[in-house]
Amino acid sequence: MDSSTNVRYEVAGPVARISIDRPERLNALNRATAVALDRAVADAIADPAVRVLVVTGAGDRAFVAGADIAEMASLTAAEAQSFSRLLQAAFDRIERSPKPVIAEINGFALGGGCELAMACHVRIAAAEARFGQPEVTLGLIPGAGGTQRLPRIVGRGRALDLLLSGDVIDAAEAHRIGLVNRVVAKDELRVAVDAYAVRLASRGPMALGRVIEAVVCGSEMAQDDAMRMEAALFGLSFATADMKEGTSAFLEKRKASFPGQ
C-alpha cells in the first residue's frame, strides 16, 4: 500500500481484495484515495490471475462513511464537478468490470460509500452496517451516482424517500428493500465474502463477464434491444474455450477447470 493513497491491494489465489484504509477518517474518500481505488480496480481487471474483486473498508466501524467533508468544504463549483466526475468514472469502472465485484460492507456506507457499494455487483453486509445518502443534510446532492443507481436498485419511490430525507437505515432494512443481497453477523462477514468470492471464481470467467455486460448495458436499453444483445452474447459464448470446457465437464461428470478464454 502507498501510504499517501490509503488503499491496500492484496491478491490471494483468484481473489483481489481492495481496502480503503483511512480508519481514522472512517475511510472517507478524498481525491487521492479515489484515484488510488480506481487504479487498484484497473490493476485487478487487467490481472489474468484475478477472477473476482472484493472492495471493503479497513477497521471495524466503516465501509466508507462518505466523501471527505474536510476536503470538499473548500471546493469551488468547478472543482466539485471535477471531483464528482472522478468518483463517477471510478465507480463506473467497477460497475462495468467484466469480473464480479463484491462489496464487503463492514460498517457505515453513507454518501459516497453507499454509492461505491451500489456500483459493486453484489453487496454483502454485516448486521451492524448502516446505509444512507445524507447529502441533503449538508445542502448537497449525491455526486457519485446515487441519484441514478439507487432508483435502479430499490425503485424510484424508495430511492426518493432516502434521497430527500437523508435518513440512515440499518442492514435489515437495506436487505428488505433490496439494497443489499445478504446480511451476516459481523464476525462472519470476511468468511462469508471469501467463500462467495471463491465460488464465483469457480464459474466460467467469460460467462461471468457477459452476464455483467448483459445486465448493466441491458438495463439502459429498450427491452427488445436488450434481448438482441443477450442473444448475441449467448452466441459469442459458444466460441469460447470456457464453453467447451464447461459442457465437456458436464457430460464427463467432472468439475470444470475454466481457462478464461
> Can you give the pLDDT at residue 156?
96
Is the full-model pTM beyond 0.85?
yes
Residue 253 CB coordination number (10 Å)? 6
Of 115, 173, 188, 230, which one is the catalytic site residue? 115
Question: What pLDDT is stored for residue 233 in this prediction?
Answer: 95
Is residue 220 part of the annotated active site? The answer reads no
With a CB cutoff of 8 Å and minimum separation 6, the contacts of 157 are: none
Question: What share of the chain in percent tops pLDDT 90?
Answer: 91
Does the structure show a pLDDT above 90 at 50? yes
What's the pLDDT score for residue 4?
52
pLDDT tens digits along 164-205: 999 999 999 999 999 999 999 999 999 999 999 999 999 999
Instruction: Identify the CATH class of 7-201.
Output: alpha beta
Q: How far is CA 120 from CA 125, 164, 182, 216, 228, in A?
A: 12, 23, 14, 11, 25
d(CA 241, CA 89): 32
Of 135, 173, 213, 220, catalytic: 135
Per-residue cell: 198: 471463491
Please say if the pLDDT value at position 5 is more than 90: no
Query: Domains of the chain: which residue ranges?
Result: 7-201, 205-251
Instruction: Convert the chain into a string of H (helix), E (strand) and C (coil).
Output: CECCCCEEEEEECCEEEEEECCHHHCCCECHHHHHHHHHHHHHHHHCCCCCEEEEEECCCCEEECCECHHHHCCCCHHHHHHHHHHHHHHHHHHHCCCCCEEEEECCEEECHHHHHHHHCCEEEEECCCEEECHHHHHCCCCCCCHHHHHHHHHCHHHHHHHHHHCCEEEHHHHHHCCCCCEEECHHHHHHHHHHHHHHHHCCCHHHHHHHHHHHHHHCCCCHHHHHHHHHHHHHHHCCCHHHHHHHHHHHCCCCCCCCCC
- Identify whether the C-beta of residue 4 lies closer than 8 Å to the C-beta of residue 33: no
79 is catalytic: no
